[in-house]
Amino acid sequence: MIRYLNLVEGKIVDGEKNENFPWVHICPPISTADIESFASANEIPSDFITDSLDIDERSRYEREDEANYILINTPVLKADAKANEAIYVTIPIGIILNEDQIITVSQAENPVLEKFLNNRVKGFKPRDIKLFVLQIFDQNVFSFLEALKKLNLKRNLIEQELYNSSRNEELKQLLRIEKSLVYFVNSLSTNDLLMMKMKRTDFLRIREDEDYTDLFEDTIIDNSQALEMSNVYTNILSGTMEAYAAIVSNNQSMFIHRLTIITIILMVPTLVASFYGMNLNHLPLSQNKYAFYILIFVSILIGVLLIWFFKKDQKPEK
């Protein structure tokens, strides 16, 4: 689907191809023939569009003839994720700058472009292409920060549940959060490198404009902070998982230890009783009318002595 968009009286309106609107947004469903036709008509490589629809593409920028291409990754909540999949994934947003027109490409709905489509970004002017690109970067970083806060809150709630239970469901949720953070760290790292290179090469030609330069620098700083937060949350989560694994292992060892003690305590009286279950004529006390009570007393006494021995052995030395 190809949409031609413009801001008219504070509202985003759709137009026709020949109206020369400043913003073109491309998203599925769209056929290969439509992509080739659009690329040919606008004199841009079709790879710019197809790469933007590939979820595995990494952040980068390119120049080819008069067209400039930027690709960044943005976080998306995966509503239909399975129990073993990440809560958030990252998808690319393609930005193609072609003369007086900006073309955005996304393979799924994402909160960054939705804000522009709903005109919820302060100072948004689609005809100011440089500002539009900087605002996309800025809103993208904000989306990462918002998603990180939600993941951290979810992690804290799950940790509280783990203190009171040891269900597998909480552990699965932590694994899903960990996978999401891995996506975030990788995407934020490549986005950070992309923006640093764009600033160094002055890809957007904004070096002489102080307002745009300041906005770009602030966005780079915010992206670095988001990357640092992702790394911190990843380390905390890894430490939590390791600590919980150690607690489970320790509890299992204690359980096995107690079970072994109980087995030994029950084994000795059982051994005594098994001897007297043999069909022999010359067993001690076999002719004594109190033999049964004596054996019960001896078995209980041995059991008590074993319990006393193990308790004494477990007491810490002063």
CATH code, domain carrying 266: 1.20.58
For the ranges 98-102, 108-112, 147-151, 256-260, the maximum mean pLDDT occurs at 147-151
**DSSP structure string for 57-121:** PPPEEEEETTEEEEEEEEEEE-TT--TTS-SEEEEEEEEEEETTEEEEEESS--HHHHHHHTT-S
Do both 157 and 26 map to the same domain?
Answer: yes
Do both 245 and 256 map to the same domain?
Answer: no
pLDDT at 138: 95
In the predicted model, what is the mean pLDDT of the chain? 85
Do both 155 and 37 map to the same domain?
Answer: yes
What DSSP element (H or E) covers 222?
Answer: helix 210-275
Q: How far apart are the first and last CA of the chain?
A: 78
- Write down which residue in 218, 249, 280 finishes a domain: 249
- Write down which residue in 215, 249, 283 finishes a domain: 249
Do both 260 and 303 map to the same domain?
Answer: yes
Q: Percent of the chain, pLDDT > 70?
A: 91
Q: What is the mean predicted confidence (pLDDT) over 292-308?
A: 78
pLDDT tier, 261 (very low <50, low <70, confident <90, very high otherwise): confident
Do both 206 and 260 map to the same domain?
Answer: no
Lookup: tokens for 80: 């239909």
Do both 97 and 170 map to the same domain?
Answer: yes
